[in-house]
Amino acid sequence: MAKNMSKVKLEIKNLYKIFGVKDTSFVSKIRDGMSKQELLDKHNHVLGLNNINLSIPEQKVQVIMGLSGSGKSTLIRHVNRLIEPTSGELYVDGENVLEMSQSQLREFRRKSTSMVFQKFALLPHKTVSQNVAYGLTIQGVKEKLAKEQSHRWIDRVGLGGFEERYPAQLSGGMQQRVGLARALATDAPILLMDEAFSALDPLIRTDMQNILLELQEELHKTILFITHDLDEALRIGDNIAILRDGKVIQEGDPQEIIMNPADAYIKDFIKDINRSRVVELRSIINKKVKGSGPGLKLNMSVEDALPILNASKTKSFAVVDDKNKILGSVNLNSAIKALSRADESKVAERYK
Amino acid sequence: MDFWTEIPSLGRNDLRDLKKGIDASFRSFSRAYGPEIEAFFDPLYFFLVRLEKLLIAAPWPIILVVVGALAYLGSRSWKLALGSVLSFIIIGYFGMWKDMMATISLISVATVICIAIGIPIGILMSRYDRMQAAITPILDLMQTIPIFVYLLPVVMLLGIGRVPGLIAVIVYALPPIIRLTNLGIRLVDKEILEAADAFGSDYRQKLFSVQIPLALPNIFAGVNQTIMMALAMVVIASMIGVKGLGMPVLQSIQNQYLTLGLMNGLAIVALAIIFDRVSQRYGKRLQAHRYGKEHE
């Protein structure tokens, strides 16, 4: 599925992070196969990240997923060096972030990245307007201009009229809108979102996801999105990397991960998702048969396709791309198959 | 001599020589450098005397208006402003006006100096752990050492009078503002600091737009404590010749003048309450954002 491969914006190479006093001395041991547990038990050092390699394309949403303690928040903090790595390389637009001096790094943080935090991290003593303008103020933008800009972004996230309120006067969802507006206001091309919506309740979370997707359609940021919620990852991500014990265990197209989970851990991870809603026709397409009828789009979900397929149960329906070119076909049979979880042995066990 | 019943000690003669030696060298030091040290503190004297003279020379109604206005501006409470003016009138009515002005000028100068010295030291302590480790024991010493013990060398160096009194008050009242500035800055939410870093703030920007504003409630509690401790020192400072409400209290102890002691003592209490309430209200108003109506 090598669609239009865009330029790599952010490249992470052989990144290791070990927490402890003698961190650098253990990198080679980890490389030679020492386990996280052994490092902790015998040497009292914590393995944060283990040989991370990721290429994040420009203008795409890269989701990093994992349970708590998997190292995802540690990873995202390496991108703007809120955490220094133990070893490895990190390039943004080909420039090595790890070699930047303190002042270059500040400039990089001001202009190239911005961040949204799980617990919002707004400045409680500043108004919504001042909070959103914060990044601009730091850059030395004139107050009037910064205020104009901030009001524009406050409107964009739907908080018009709340400019002069303090964060404590807003609900969680509204506070995170402020957080998002603050991050967008600096116009940085890379947006780092650290479990940005995890602290919100489900309805508001969906709201925020919609806002983000809507904005992304227009802004085309390179987004690194951390989450522990698979539904959110599937909804937002162009690409997903799953992290466990500081290691990437599977990375790629979300469809690919669902259809071909790399190991038992990931299988377990994806077992509760609503497959009919998530699996798209492109994952079950039969390229050998052209099919007929009004073409179904590649990115249509199985759930949406089922009623159509059910109308004539044996027919192969054509599947088309954006330009209505027929790429293959699907039928009811293949759609139903896609809904079952691959692990048949466990099913048998359950009904013994 | 039995080892188990008597602790090993320096012989009586040696001990006397040691004390004498130190005393003598300190005395010669104070003789040699006394004038220079006094000259160094001259600006303080100038400042203090000017303020005292100004307060005493000013017509009393103007002082009352200023007191009322300051109390209102600080607390935004008519009750408190009125109470302050009334207390001043009563204190004046009972013949303690001049002494009160002297005390107020001492407290004001001491507080301003404590803030000017204390807040920067507190900031440094919050930035460097080593600084904190080095200064904390000094603060402990300043707060626990019996006042007379450091009063003595101050008097030997500077003689008796306003300036040594002022220095004694400052030594006693300085620790809380340093401690609470340090504490307040260290207690600022790590996530907010991380956000400030993530947007590329440098140290100054972080200090002035995030750390100090968020530490203000604590810093202000420190200012309040400093004022209170300075007031508590008024009587002791009068022992080395500081004029003010403390002097009559001292006299009343020496001569058993019950009423004189009580009146001046109550005047000090009244001042303390006014300073305390006004500064606390002001501190609370500084963080109005925290009391914003919470969203349900």
Q: Convert the pLDDT of each residue in B196-236 to its tens digit.
A: 999 999 999 999 999 999 999 899 999 999 999 999 888 88
- B259 pLDDT band, cuts 50/70/90, is very high
Contact B191 A80 (CB under 8 A): no
Alpha-carbon dihedral sign for residues B171, B176, B181, B182: positive
- pLDDT computed for residue A1 by the predictor: 40
Q: Select from B190, B194, B199 the residue whose CB has the most chain A CBs within 10 Å, as the one to mutate to test that interface.
A: B199
CA nearest to A300, candidates A286, A273, A282: A282
Q: Which fold has domain B41-287?
A: MetI-like fold (1.10.3720)
Residue A10: the pLDDT is 92
- The order of strands in the sheet holding A317-320 is A292-297, A317-320, A326-330
How many CB contacts within 8 angstroms connect chain A with chain B? 77
Gap between the Cα atoms of B155 and B30, Å rounded:
10
Q: Chain A contacts of B198, Cβ < 8 Å?
A: 80, 82, 109, 113-115, 192
Say if the Cβ atoms of A109 and B198 lie within 8 Å. yes
**Rounded Cα gap, residues B171 and B147, in angstroms:** 9
Q: A125 and B287 in contact by Cβ < 8 A?
A: yes
**Closest partner CB to B199 (pick from A124, A135, A171):** A135
Give the three-class secondary structure for A14.
strand
Closest alpha carbon to A132 in A117, A144, A147: A147
> Looking at residue A341, what is its pLDDT?
67
**Which residues, in sequence order, are bridge partners of residue A280?**
A301
Q: How confident is the model at residue B296 (pLDDT cuts 50, 70, 90)?
A: very low
Residue spans per domain, chain B: 41-287
Given A82, A138, A165, which is nearest B201 (Cβ)?
A138
In tens, the pLDDT along A177-198 reads 999 999 999 999 999 999 999 9
Is residue B268 within 8 A of residue B247, CB to CB? The reply is no
Contact A82 B197 (CB under 8 A): yes
CB contact under 8 A, B289 and A134: no
Interface residues from chain A to B (CB-CB < 8 Å) = 80, 82, 106-111, 113-115, 117, 119, 121-126, 134-135, 137-139, 165-171, 174, 182, 186, 192
Q: How far apart are CA A134 and CA A121, in angstroms?
A: 12
Contact at CB, B294 and A106, closer than 8 angstroms:
no
Nearest CA in chain B to A117: B195
Chain-chain contact of A109 with B200 (C-beta, under 8 angstroms)? yes
In this complex, do A82 and B198 lie within 8 Å of one another by their Cβ atoms? yes
CA-based nearest residue to A167, from B207, B295, B201: B295
Separation of alpha carbons A74 and A83, rounded Å: 7
Domains in chain A, start-ordered, CATH in brackets? Answer: 58-79+101-275 (3.40.50.300), 276-350 (3.90.1280.20)
Contact criterion met (CB < 8 Å) for B205 and A171: no
Query: Can you give the pLDDT at residue B292?
Result: 53
Question: pLDDT higher for B217 or B287?
Answer: B217
Which residues from chain B sit within 8 angstroms of residue A188, using beta carbons?
Answer: none
- Quick one: closest CA in A to B296, which residue? A171
- Which residue type is seen at A58? E
CA-based nearest residue in chain A for residue B211: A123
Q: Residue A101 — very low, low, confident or very high, per pLDDT cuts 50/70/90? A: very high
Q: What is the pLDDT of residue B288?
A: 67
User: How confident is residue B287, by pLDDT bands cut at 50, 70 and 90?
Assistant: confident
- Whether A338 contacts A275, CB under 8 Å: yes
CB contact under 8 A, B192 and A106: no
Does B295 contact A174 at a Cβ distance shorter than 8 Å? yes
pLDDT at B295 (0 to 100): 40
Which residues on B lie below 8 Å from A164 (Cβ)? none
Q: Which member of B200, B287, B293 has the closest CB to residue A107?
A: B200
Structure confidence at residue A343 (pLDDT): 62
B177-201 pLDDT, tens digit each: 999 999 999 999 999 999 999 999 9
How much is the average pLDDT of A245-259? Answer: 90
Beta bridge mates, A262: none
Q: Mean pLDDT, to the nearest integer, of B86-112?
A: 93
Q: How many residues are given for chain B? A: 296
Q: Give me the count of residues in chain A.
A: 352
Q: For A194-243, what is each residue's pLDDT tens digit?
A: 999 999 999 999 999 999 999 999 999 999 999 998 889 999 999 999 99
- The nearest alpha carbon in chain A to B294 belongs to A169
Are B295 and A123 in contact (CB < 8 Å)? no
CA distance A135 to chain B (A): 6
pLDDT over 60 (residue B80): yes
Rounded to the nearest angstrom, the minimum Cα separation between B201 and chain A is 6
B59 — pLDDT class (breaks 50, 70, 90):
very high
Indicate the residue of B195, B200, B209 with minimum beta-carbon distance to A110. B200
Give the nearest chain A residue to B190 (CA atoms): A121
The two tokens of residue A242 are: 């799953």
* Pairwise CB contact (< 8 Å): A109 & B199: yes
Residue A263, phi-psi category: left (phi > 0), alpha (psi -120 to 50), beta (remainder) = beta
pLDDT band, residue B293 (cuts 50/70/90): very low
pLDDT at A69: 84
B101, B91, B89: which is closest to B55 by C-alpha? B101
Q: Residue A242 pairs with which residues in a beta bridge?
A: A65, A250
DSSP state of B180: H
DSSP-derived pairing of the beta strands A190-194 and A8-19: unpaired
Closest by Cα among B114, B84, B110, B55 to B236: B110
Is A117–B294 a contact, with Cβ atoms under 8 angstroms apart?
no
